[in-house]
Amino acid sequence: MTDTFGFLVFVFIALLAAEAVNGWTDAPNAVATVVSTRALRPMVAVAMAAVLNLVGVLSGTAVATTIGKDIVNIDVLTAGGTGLQIGAAGALAVAIWSIVAAYFSLPTSESHGLVSGVAGAAVAVAGTDVLLWDGWQKVFMGVGWAVVLGFGGAFLIMILILRLFQRLSPSMMRRTFAPLQVLSSAFMAWSHGTADGQKFIGVMAMTLAIWNETPAKEFDVPLWVILLGAGTMGVSTMAGGWRIIRTLGMRVTHLETYQGFAAEAAAASTITVAARLGIPLSTTHTIGSAIMGVGATRRLSAVRWGVAYNIVGAWILTFPICFGLGYLIALAIPD
């Protein structure tokens, strides 16, 4: 069954469905702060995110290449004549977990859900030797970058803003930074495309490589795959994700326009640099950490740490839950 063209089509449908989930659950990461500060109306912000997400996906394939050939050894899978099911299992794992987490208004990381689901499925098919440490080093590096650079970068930008504009009244601060926050939100949406938008495309390209028995050294991401994935995410982003917007933009800490600018500028810069290095960094982790960093500049109690702990808990649970789901789904798919 798994070596038929029909199953290949099924895998792509599953991956596109997961990409659609990525669009409507991760869209809030790019627009949550600009909506919460009222710098943009919700529908305008989501439309902007949809367009710039698509543009970001088209700007490079470094992250897609890391996901496609550096997480699991595709040479082992092609040599064994199996492996198509890992793409479907990984996609279904992250889709199931993302939908469950979204129901509880928890912003999860589709990035880590996808790599964990694919890894679990690959282990079910070919054993633990199929995992590649070099790729996983980049994944774990991304976790550290997201937390440290997201939180620390936003904290430092906020300190700089408070020093430079300390004489401005609160109303003047809001008016001054409202247009700047629109720009930072646009930067955030574009960077999301360069990172998260690439990940499902990488698994699609990996699936094609396994189907065509292409060796890892010849791995490539076809343009039609990029356009298919980017288009799917752009359309699905228009669906928004307003419950998660409320969690990230309003419940973690109260934000003004200059604070939203600081969070988005720090997060988007971190994501962009990581994407250029092929590091699959989580947009959710990064903007969430940046929002906490902004809140902490006023006083630690300004951050609603109970909500923040729930979000971090969802991040941590993503790895084992999606790995286990990917493993079980792969076993359930008949050869």
pLDDT in the model for residue 118:
95
User: pTM for the complete prediction?
Assistant: 0.85
Q: Given a cut of 80, is residue 65 above it in pLDDT?
A: yes
Q: Which of 31, 15, 74 is nearest to 228 (CA)?
A: 15
> What percent of the chain stands above pLDDT 90?
33
Helix/strand/coil percentages in the chain, nearest 5: 80, 0, 20
pLDDT in the model for residue 243:
59
pLDDT in the model for residue 252:
47
> Mean pLDDT throughout 225-245?
77
pLDDT, one tens digit per residue, over 3-14 is: 678 888 999 998
Q: Which of 76, 1, 17, 19 is nearest to 332 (CA)?
A: 1
Q: Which two tokens stand for residue 248?
A: 């990230």
Q: Give 75's contacts (C-beta < 8 A, 6+ positions apart).
A: 215, 216
> Mean pLDDT throughout 292-310?
70
pLDDT in the model for residue 63:
92
Q: Which two tokens stand for residue 63?
A: 């992250």
